[in-house]
Structure 1
Amino acid sequence: MEKQDKKILIIDDDPDVLGTARMFLKQFFAQVDTEQNPAQINSIVSRGNYHVILLDMNFRRGEHDGREGLYWLERIRTIAPQTAVVLITAYGDIELAVEAMKQGAADFVLKPWKNSKLLDAIHKALSKERSTSLSKEKAEFLQVPQMIGKSPSMQSVFEMIDRVAGTDANVLILGENGTGKEVVARWLHLKSARRKGPFVKVDMGAITTSLMESELFGHQKGAFTDAYQDKAGKFELASGGTLFLDEIGNLYLSQQAKLLSVLQNRSVSRVGSNEESPLNIRLICATNMPLYEMVDRKDEQGFRQDLLYRINTVEIVVPPLRERKEDLPLLLEHFLDLYSEKYNKPGLKVSKSALKKIEHYGWPGNVRELQHAVERAVILSHEDTLQPEDFSFNEGTVNMYQHKIEADDLLTLDENEKLFIQRALERNQGNVTHTAKELGLTRTALYRRLDKYGL
């Protein structure tokens, strides 16, 4: 058997693993080196010029979460970005595998491995042209995602974008988490006369009350403690382009008055300054919250009616994925193409049984959940055709949209939301951080809902 003229490095703290792997791989490759001490990675990788590195994910005794392996993966990718890295671990974890692949790993194998699987992973890594970046087209996609859909509801969204984009009208985008509200906002900008200007996104749910004015309007040096230099706010940074205020429903009632004043006067002044600067922006806002119902509230979780009128000159509602199931095959094909290229796994297909599973799932996380599910499936796939077991859903989740609800059992929107949050809290044993992550909310947004529903 003729050996491939390739250099392989195995890094593992277990000498038995190193010896066994080296003996096996020496049959196929001209040079197979081993290293037991991860502290030597910097020097050995920088001078070794290896084609593939097999990297253990756990070196410290008693630590099994793989975080140390991710650290060394990052170091290797920095020192030798063209070298393929195959991670090896005794602890299979889907999310960890996904994270590792996103950080640049070529593949992921589990101990104890089958020799055929290990060899296959190395051959796949060698066959790929390693690159430190995506292709130009895919890099652009990550900045401006495509809009995909043949369903009547999505065609209505496309038509509204075309009709509104050329104007400077304020737009309010409504829809559940994960439906693609930011994608709509970006396409409104791209199709507008302001497309050569900046697109500035602000997550209103992530801004603390004390920093809201500084973040949006900017501040002068010395305006408050820690204001060591002048800072331009998001309104200034978006001048000549589009300002996108995401999760506008998370803005406290006391903060809304300041925003309304700026929009009415069409001018903004930095905190600590009396100098007014005229606004030159196109405003787009988005939320998953029921703003019209919030208008009736008079506490901090309410929403000013005059501000609502100001921001929704035009309203676009993005439908949830469960109401546009005919778009599933198109979205699936798109994400499969994207991640097959990103993770160097060309030619992947989806089996009919997997497609059936996808079509019967309720997708509470909408398009974002589908995207993540496809990415995980591509990362962990070892065959050319993805099977149902490659797609991991929370099958235990009670999904109200998968049932036919009798008329006398119908709940209000608030009652449905409260029930959904209660179930998520139960699944996460009351952990607010984990619950917020599952629901696609910030902790602040979730706390407001907990307060709203007395949970």
Structure 2
Amino acid sequence: MSMKANILIVDDEANTLASLSRAFRLAGHEATVCDNAARALELARTQTFDMILSDVVMPRRDGLALLADLKAAGVTAPVVMMSGQAHIDMAVRATRLGALDFLEKPLSTEKLLVTLENALKLTRLESENRELRTRVGKHELVWTGDTMRRIMAQIERVAASESRVCIYGETGTGKELVARTLHEKSHRSAGPFVTLNCAAVPAELIESELFGHEKGSFTGAAQRHIGKFEQAHRGTLFLDEIGDMPATMQAKMLRVLEESVVERIGSDKPVHVDVRVIVATHRNLDQQVQTGAFRRDLYHRVIVFPIELPPLRSRSEDIPLLVEHFAQQVFAQNGWKPIPFTTDAIAALQKYTWPGNIRELRNMVERLLLLSGTEVDAETVRLALPSINAHSAAPGNINMPALDQGPLAERVASFEKATVLAEIRRQHRNITKAAAALGLERSHLYKKCQQLGIDLRDVPAE
């Protein structure tokens, strides 16, 4: 490991401090030692450390309390806990408080250095993530809170291995992005990344999609087709919605995973493939195994390392950064001049439950930018969010349109009309005030009403 690191070691035992600091220094790193939590917190606030290694059991204030204090103080250095009295409950508590890892004493030098390397990799990940504020990428994970921090630590840990990963999560949570990240951080990154959504392919065609077919092997097979496994040779194959794979195909998948060999339909010649398989699903595979919908032996082949992605509603702290990221994409794709989201608009977006998760947020950001003038404010968000629209239809009111149907131009026009109507109604049909609230000239609002087919005589006041 070429990078020189600075580590803070916290333990009330002098012998432990001496042995650990010596191990790190012999490996070319710097180590600062401390025998109590209060002093450790002071040091962490005033100095920069690449990792903090703390004992759990200490007099006065223990390591778990120190961990909570560090997080409350905004210390961003990865924290690793250690204990000679380790048990599962203690490790779970430490992880929930934000610890990167939990080690059991006595510690080997090899384990210490591997842990440090993981911490340094995570720090680099966070540094790269901060750069997303000025980058416009289509295939990047965007996060800032502790919820995704723990997920990223898992990704960093498993990415360099050949272990098969199963990514769990609701639709729209970013399962394919996680799979891409695993590929890009693996030694296979120079190879292809190939995807297949098992739920989107008809049952009678999925074997051909995965294994390929020879010309004339079935009606319509006008030429040889190379399947996804061969396409992904020396790279990564991502099988999305593996829980929807037909039962007959599951048995054939099992053989390929065991032998790394495929046979195209219409051929008896085996083809060796060197592929890392990553799968994903929004279904409960354990339950499917119990009901017989998913083969138990295949389950144990693909669920080597599970990663569970949280829904967006449980990581609302990431929404401001996600909104900024998606807005930059929209500006760049359309050549638009950037406009800001107000603080109240972001707060309104954070209160919504996002049943469609990140995918829904991405679409909402584009919709809001299409509908806004000089800024995106809370009122525009209020009108756009489906939860608001669902409750806006009441006797005597002008109903909001269904915004999830029809071509984009029709949806935009419908929403624009509803927004103008709502503001005119709110201002008791005072066109001057309504125009000011919408950021338009009075004459422009009249023209807009004509374009949208709004008869002001028919607009009731609130």
| Bigger Rg, which one | 2
Matched AA of 1:358:
L
Query: Structure 1, residues 220-264: CA drift from partner, whole Å, max 9, x if none?
Result: 112111112111111000101110001111112222111111111
Following the alignment from structure 1 to structure 2, what is the Cα–Cα distance between the partners of residues 325 and 341?
A: 25
The 8 Å contact of residues 172 and 316 in structure 1, kept in 2 or not, is answered as yes
Please state how far the C-alpha of 1:347 moved relative to its aligned partner: 3.5
Please state how far the C-alpha of 1:340 moved relative to its aligned partner: 2.5
Structure 1 counterpart of 2:259: 265
**Does the alignment pair 1:222 with 2:207?**
no
Matched AA of 1:366:
N
Following the alignment from structure 2 to structure 1, what is the Cα–Cα distance between the partners of residues 240 and 154?
A: 19
Following the alignment from structure 2 to structure 1, what is the Cα–Cα distance between the partners of residues 272 and 266?
A: 17
For residue 393 of structure 1, the aligned residue among 385, 389, 407 is 385
Please state how far the C-alpha of 1:185 moved relative to its aligned partner: 0.3
Matched AA of 1:343:
N
Please state how far the C-alpha of 1:385 moved relative to its aligned partner: 4.2
Q: Assess, with a 3 A threshold, how the Cα gap between structure 1 residues 294 and 151 changes in structure 2: closer, same or farther.
A: same
Structure 2 counterpart of 1:341: 332
What does residue range 2-401 of structure 1 map to in structure 2 within 5 Å?
Answer: 138=136, 141-142=137-138, 145-298=139-292, 302-390=293-381, 392-395=384-387
TM superposition score normalised by structure 1:
0.54
Following the alignment from structure 1 to structure 2, what is the Cα–Cα distance between the partners of residues 397 and 363?
A: 14
Please state how far the C-alpha of 1:332 moved relative to its aligned partner: 1.5
Following the alignment from structure 1 to structure 2, what is the Cα–Cα distance between the partners of residues 398 and 203?
A: 31
Show structure 2 runs of 5+ residues with no match. Answer: 1-134, 392-400, 407-462
* 3-state secondary structure, aligned to 1:295: helix
The 8 Å contact of residues 200 and 238 in structure 1, kept in 2 or not, is answered as yes
Query: Structure 1, residues 182-231: CA drift from partner, whole Å, max 9, x if none?
Result: 00000001111111111001011111111111110011112111112111
Following the alignment from structure 2 to structure 1, what is the Cα–Cα distance between the partners of residues 356 and 389?
A: 12
How many matched pairs?
A: 263
Please state how far the C-alpha of 1:398 moved relative to its aligned partner: 8.3
Following the alignment from structure 1 to structure 2, what is the Cα–Cα distance between the partners of residues 352 and 270?
A: 56
Following the alignment from structure 1 to structure 2, what is the Cα–Cα distance between the partners of residues 208 and 342?
A: 33
Please state how far the C-alpha of 1:387 moved relative to its aligned partner: 4.0
Please state how far the C-alpha of 1:337 moved relative to its aligned partner: 2.2
Following the alignment from structure 1 to structure 2, what is the Cα–Cα distance between the partners of residues 246 and 329?
A: 28
Q: Assess, with a 3 A threshold, how the Cα gap between structure 1 residues 386 and 341 changes in structure 2: closer, same or farther.
A: farther
Following the alignment from structure 1 to structure 2, what is the Cα–Cα distance between the partners of residues 318 and 390?
A: 26
TM superposition score normalised by structure 2:
0.54
Matched AA of 1:348:
I
Query: Structure 1, residues 116-152: CA drift from partner, whole Å, max 9, x if none?
Result: xxxxxxxxxxxxxxxxxxxxx74xx22xx22122222
* 3-state secondary structure, aligned to 1:147: coil
Please state how far the C-alpha of 1:397 moved relative to its aligned partner: 8.2
Following the alignment from structure 1 to structure 2, what is the Cα–Cα distance between the partners of residues 326 and 347?
A: 23
Please state how far the C-alpha of 1:344 moved relative to its aligned partner: 2.8
Query: Structure 1, residues 247-301: CA drift from partner, whole Å, max 9, x if none?
Result: 1111122221111111112111101111111120110000101111111113xxx
Please state how far the C-alpha of 1:341 moved relative to its aligned partner: 2.8
Structure 2 counterpart of 1:42: none
Please state how far the C-alpha of 1:317 moved relative to its aligned partner: 0.6
Q: Assess, with a 3 A threshold, how the Cα gap between structure 1 residues 397 and 322 changes in structure 2: closer, same or farther.
A: farther
Q: Assess, with a 3 A threshold, how the Cα gap between structure 1 residues 316 and 397 changes in structure 2: closer, same or farther.
A: farther
Following the alignment from structure 1 to structure 2, what is the Cα–Cα distance between the partners of residues 229 and 365?
A: 39
Matched AA of 1:393:
L
Following the alignment from structure 2 to structure 1, what is the Cα–Cα distance between the partners of residues 376 and 166?
A: 41
Following the alignment from structure 2 to structure 1, what is the Cα–Cα distance between the partners of residues 356 and 290?
A: 28
Q: Assess, with a 3 A threshold, how the Cα gap between structure 1 residues 398 and 175 changes in structure 2: closer, same or farther.
A: farther
* 3-state secondary structure, aligned to 2:269: coil
The 8 Å contact of residues 193 and 232 in structure 2, kept in 1 or not, is answered as yes
Matched AA of 1:345:
W
* 3-state secondary structure, aligned to 1:283: strand
Following the alignment from structure 2 to structure 1, what is the Cα–Cα distance between the partners of residues 181 and 264?
A: 30
Q: CA RMSD in A?
A: 2.7
Structure 1 counterpart of 2:414: none
Query: Structure 1, residues 155-194: CA drift from partner, whole Å, max 9, x if none?
Result: 1111111111111111100000111000000000111111
Following the alignment from structure 2 to structure 1, what is the Cα–Cα distance between the partners of residues 141 and 231?
A: 26
Show structure 1 runs of 5+ residues with no match. Answer: 1-136, 400-426, 434-455
Matched AA of 2:170:
E
The 8 Å contact of residues 342 and 375 in structure 2, kept in 1 or not, is answered as no
Q: Percent sequence identity over matched residues? A: 40
Following the alignment from structure 1 to structure 2, what is the Cα–Cα distance between the partners of residues 294 and 397?
A: 36
Matched AA of 2:278:
I
Q: Assess, with a 3 A threshold, how the Cα gap between structure 1 residues 351 and 199 changes in structure 2: closer, same or farther.
A: same
Q: Assess, with a 3 A threshold, how the Cα gap between structure 1 residues 261 and 398 changes in structure 2: closer, same or farther.
A: farther
Please state how far the C-alpha of 1:343 moved relative to its aligned partner: 2.6
Structure 2 counterpart of 1:103: none
The 8 Å contact of residues 348 and 386 in structure 1, kept in 2 or not, is answered as no
* 3-state secondary structure, aligned to 1:209: coil
Following the alignment from structure 1 to structure 2, what is the Cα–Cα distance between the partners of residues 388 and 335?
A: 20
Any runs of at least 4 consecutive aligned residues in structure 1 with deviations exceeding 3 A, and if so which?
A: 384-387, 396-399
Structure 1 counterpart of 2:44: none
The 8 Å contact of residues 322 and 363 in structure 1, kept in 2 or not, is answered as yes
Following the alignment from structure 2 to structure 1, what is the Cα–Cα distance between the partners of residues 275 and 141?
A: 24
The answer to which structure, 1 or 2, has the higher relative contact order (CA under 8 A, 6+ apart) is 1
Following the alignment from structure 1 to structure 2, what is the Cα–Cα distance between the partners of residues 385 and 266?
A: 52
The 8 Å contact of residues 172 and 311 in structure 1, kept in 2 or not, is answered as yes
The 8 Å contact of residues 179 and 366 in structure 1, kept in 2 or not, is answered as yes
Matched AA of 1:395:
S
Query: Structure 1, residues 391-430: CA drift from partner, whole Å, max 9, x if none?
Result: 612116889xxxxxxxxxxxxxxxxxxxxxxxxxxx99xx
Following the alignment from structure 1 to structure 2, what is the Cα–Cα distance between the partners of residues 238 and 183?
A: 17
Following the alignment from structure 1 to structure 2, what is the Cα–Cα distance between the partners of residues 356 and 179?
A: 20
Matched AA of 2:270:
E
* 3-state secondary structure, aligned to 1:370: helix
